[in-house]
Amino acid sequence: MAMYRKLGRTSAQRKALLRSQVTSLLYRGKIVTTEAKAKEVRKIAEGIIALGIKEKDNYETVKVTAKVPRKDKDGKRVKEVVDGKKVTVYDEVEKEIKKDLPSRLHARRQMLKVLYPVKEVPKEAKGRKKGTKNVDLPAKIFDEIAPKYADRKGGYTRIVKIGPRKGDAAMEVVLELI
């Protein structure tokens, strides 16, 4: 007997499908899929959430000095002429950053092995590259999802049956974070 469902796909296709569905579940909070896929996605997602809960507070806060370009009222960089060339003007700013301790860094890398990169596109910039930003999904897991489930011992997802699909009568379900 197999340890996992093959879902009628080759191993590379299956891995890509499960990675994309886990990424969508953790980014959006819920997905609609078939029952067999949901049960496989649930295994992976709950493992990632458990990893996030274990390492959520494992960091140190460090003050760093960063050079940040000065911007005008329109949000454009301020330029200054030095020796006949236009040069961007920089200000030094002190920032506090979270520095991962080794075990949290390892957990972050384990999550990144499974999760795909996510780009957030604002509604006004739909279809254009300008204004898009990359979402740090492991940071979202550590900062938002893990504290929510810190007191739970498991069972971070719920599967709700919504009925058979019209085309092939496969049982469709909603897989959501509780």
At 4-38, the pLDDT tens digits run 899 999 999 999 999 999 999 999 999 999 999 99
Contact (Cβ atoms closer than 8 angstroms) between residue 95 and residue 62: no
Q: Are residues 41 and 114 in the same domain?
A: yes
Q: Are 68 and 90 in contact (CB under 8 A)?
A: yes
Chain segment 36-45, per-residue pLDDT in tens: 999 999 999 9
Number of domains the chain is built from: 2
* End-of-domain residue from the set 71, 100, 129: 100
pLDDT of residue 53: 95
Q: Domain containing 91: what range?
A: 59-100
Q: How far is Cα 48 from Cα 51, in angstroms, rounded to an integer?
A: 5
Q: How far apart are CA 94 and CA 29, in angstroms?
A: 35
Token pair of 12, please?
A: 């590379």
Contact status, residue 90 vs residue 67, Cβ threshold 8 Å: yes
pTM over 0.85: no
